[in-house]
Structure formats: structure tokens, C-alpha cells
């Protein structure tokens, strides 16, 4: 069904990545990345721009570009992700139960998703400008066992959650659900879905759980470097249809990221800075 919405000449074998993994570590900062050709910088900041050309003209693109800040705003947000003596980015605490988490004033955002979907890798990529912050990632599903809190100065807190599904902690639901329902300063939940395999049954269950909480959440499509454009677009359109027809609290724009190649990381930093009230966007009328 979705193939009708892709350009017929799209070959699914083409990789989405535009940057070799070799140079990926240099891309932690947009300042450094801006030495790359303009077109590459654009597609690193706004990953959807790479896919746009492969979509049939009949497809409505609006939802994919709702949050489209200026490069200046993206740069402004980047500063928040750099540690300094007055703005420390630090691991804060780990907890297995809601009662173990102290109340905090600063807004919080959390990352949930299936085991191995790339939650910890995404937080590590977001914190790549503060490499002293240790975020553990692993090839083995079920690696993150507790809710891990990271403070970004006095601006906001990021929470890395254990995954659900394969090898998830047995008490995952007891651990995470009360947090999603009751955490007062939770500004947004980011629900991660693996872009190379698309929406799975466990993802649909998580989506329902997010809907039940009636709190705002956002879909993040991970590992966009891992499959061809055809497969990624098919999975993305499928997800978009689910968001459009079956959700009420989900932000209509899914965020595309590759934590390996930093694509989409700058935009997500800016979105987090924006929704936590940490920056004021200068100009959205042109976007």
C-alpha cells in the first residue's frame, strides 16, 4: 500500500546515511559540522529533507516538518548541551521505583522504547558535547535496568528508561508506568521505534500506554542509517498513519535520528530545549 506513495524509481538498497562513520564523531557539534557541504549539513539537521524527494507528490509533508527551527536556534540549543562550570551536565541518580525519585522542579523528559531500540545511544549522542557524562549502551537487549536521571544544569533532566520486550526487567511495568502517570515535572515522553524494522506489537502496546496516560509524547524513529530509504520510508509512513488515526496526545511529527551518524540529533536537542522552556525560538514564521 505504501509503495504507491514512494517514487517508483526508489531503490530500497540505497542507504540513508550521507556521512561516513569515520567522521561521525566530529559531528557532535553543529559548529564543526557546518564545515561540510551545505546540502549535507541541511540533511543532518533536518533528516526528513533527505527523504522528501523519494515521496510521491500526493503525500502531505506538513506533519513531517512542523518543528523546523532556524539554524541559529539549533545552534542556541546546542550550547545547553555543553557542560561548563556554571552549567553542569551530570549523571544524577538511578531508581527502580517512583518513591526513590526525589521531587525536582526542573522539567524532565524521558525516553522509552523496546530493549535495544537505541534509547541509551540516543542520550549518549545528545550528550556527545559532554563526553565525561557516562551513558552505557550495549548490543545486548535489556542492558539498562533502572531509570537513570541526567541533569542538564538547572534547565532540564533527561531520563533513560529500561526497555520493554525481550529481556526487559520483570518489573518494568511497576517501575515505569507510575512514573509516566504521576511524575509532575514530566514535560514530554519520547517513544522510540526502530526505523529499520518499523512498528512492532510491543511498540503498539507502548503507544496505547502513552495514550492512556493522556500526557504529551513524541515518536522518535531510530537507526535511520541501518536500512535503505525505501524500507525506512515505508516504516515511517506506516507509523505516521498510526499517529494520525489512532492517537490524540502524540505530536504529529516523528523525529528521525541516527545516533551513529548524528543525523537528527541537533534538531532533537533544539526540540527538547524548546519544550522544556530552556530557549525561546527566534523565528518560526519562516520555517
Ligand X SMILES: Nc1nc2c(ncn2[C@@H]2O[C@H](COP(=O)(O)OP(=O)(O)OP(=O)(O)O)[C@@H](O)[C@H]2O)c(=O)[nH]1
Q: Which residues bind Mg ion (CB under 5 A)?
A: 119-120, 143-144
| CB of residue 51 to Mg ion, shortest distance in Å | 27
Choose the one of ligand X, Mg ion, none that binds residue 226, judging by a C-beta under 5 to 8 angstroms depending on kind.
ligand X
115 binds ligand X (CB under 6 A): yes
191 binds ligand X (CB under 6 A): no
Q: Are 192 and 239 in contact (CB under 8 A)?
A: no
> 56-85: which residues touch ligand X (CB under 6 A)?
none
> What is the x/- site pattern for ligand X, positions 132-151, by CB under 6 A?
-----xxx-xxxx-------
Q: Are 157 and 106 in contact (CB under 8 A)?
A: yes
Choose the one of ligand X, Mg ion, none that binds residue 229, judging by a C-beta under 5 to 8 angstroms depending on kind.
none
128 binds ligand X (CB under 6 A): no
The long-range contacts involving 19-26, CB below 8 angstroms and separated by at least 24 positions, are 19/44, 19/261, 19/262, 19/263, 21/260, 21/261, 24/260, 24/261, 24/262, 25/128
Which position among 73, 108, 203, 225 is part of the footprint of ligand X (CB under 6 A)?
Answer: 225
Q: Are 250 and 217 in contact (CB under 8 A)?
A: yes
Q: Are 180 and 161 in contact (CB under 8 A)?
A: no
What angle (nearest 5°) sits at the alpha carbon of residue 258, between those of residues 253 and 259?
120
235 binds ligand X (CB under 6 A): no
Q: Which is nearer to ligand X, 116 or 278 (CB)?
A: 116
Strand order in the sheet with 147-152: 89-95, 147-152, 156-160, 108-113, 186-194, 217-222, 255-256
| CB of residue 189 to Mg ion, shortest distance in Å | 16
| CB of residue 226 to ligand X, shortest distance in Å | 4
Element (H, E) at 22: helix 21-24
Q: How many residues bind ligand X (CB under 6 A)?
A: 24
The residue ranges that bind ligand X (CB under 6 A) are 113, 115-121, 137-139, 141-144, 162-163, 222-223, 225-226, 258-260
Amino acid at each position: 500500500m505504501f509503495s504507491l506513495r514512494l517514487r517508483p524509481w526508489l531503490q530500497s538498497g540505497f542507504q540513508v546515511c550521507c556521512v561516513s562513520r569515520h567522521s561521525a564523531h566530529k559531528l557532535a557539534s553543529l559548529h564543526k559540522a557546518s564545515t561540510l557541504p551545505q546540502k549535507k549539513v541541511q540533511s543532518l539537521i533536518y533528516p526528513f529533507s533527505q527523504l522528501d524527494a523519494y515521496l510521491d507528490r500526493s503525500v502531505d509533508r506538513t506533519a513531517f516538518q512542523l518543528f523546523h527551527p532556524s539554524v541559529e536556534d539549533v545552534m542556541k540549543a546546542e550550547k545547553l548541551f555543553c557542560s561548563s562550570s556554571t552549567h553542569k551536565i551530570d549523571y544524577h541518580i538511578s531508581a527502580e521505583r517512583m518513591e526513590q525519585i526525589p521531587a525536582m522542579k526542573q522539567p524532565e523528559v524521558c525516553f522509552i522504547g523496546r530493549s535495544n531500540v537505541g534509547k541509551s545511544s540516543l542520550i549518549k549522542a545528545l550528550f556527545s558535547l559532554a563526553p565525561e557524562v557516562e551513558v552505557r549502551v550495549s548490543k545486548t537487549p535489556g542492558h539498562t535496568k533502572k531509570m537513570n536521571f541526567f541533569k542538564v544544569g538547572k534547565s532540564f533532566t533527561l531520563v533513560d528508561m529500561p526497555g520493554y520486550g525481550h529481556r526487559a526487567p520483570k518489573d518494568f511495568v511497576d517501575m515505569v508506568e507510575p512514573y509516566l502517570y504521576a511524575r509532575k515535572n514530566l514535560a514530554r515522553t519520547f517513544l522510540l521505534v526502530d526505523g529499520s524494522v518499523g512498528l512492532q506489537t510491543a511498540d503498539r502496546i507502548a503507544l496505547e500506554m502513552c495514550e492512556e496516560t493522556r500526557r504529551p509524547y513524541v515518536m522518535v524513529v531510530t537507526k535511520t542509517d541501518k536500512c535503505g530509504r525505501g524500507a525506512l520510508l515505508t516504516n515511517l509512513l506506516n507509523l505516521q498513519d498510526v499517529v494520525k488515526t489512532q492517537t490524540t496526545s502524540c505530536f504529529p511529527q516523528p523525529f528521525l535520528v541516527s545516533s551513529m551518524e548524528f543525523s537528527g540529533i541537533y534538531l532533537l536537542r533544539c526540540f527538547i530545549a524548546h519544550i522544556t522552556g530552556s530557549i525561546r525560538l527566534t523565528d518560526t514564521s519562516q520555517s
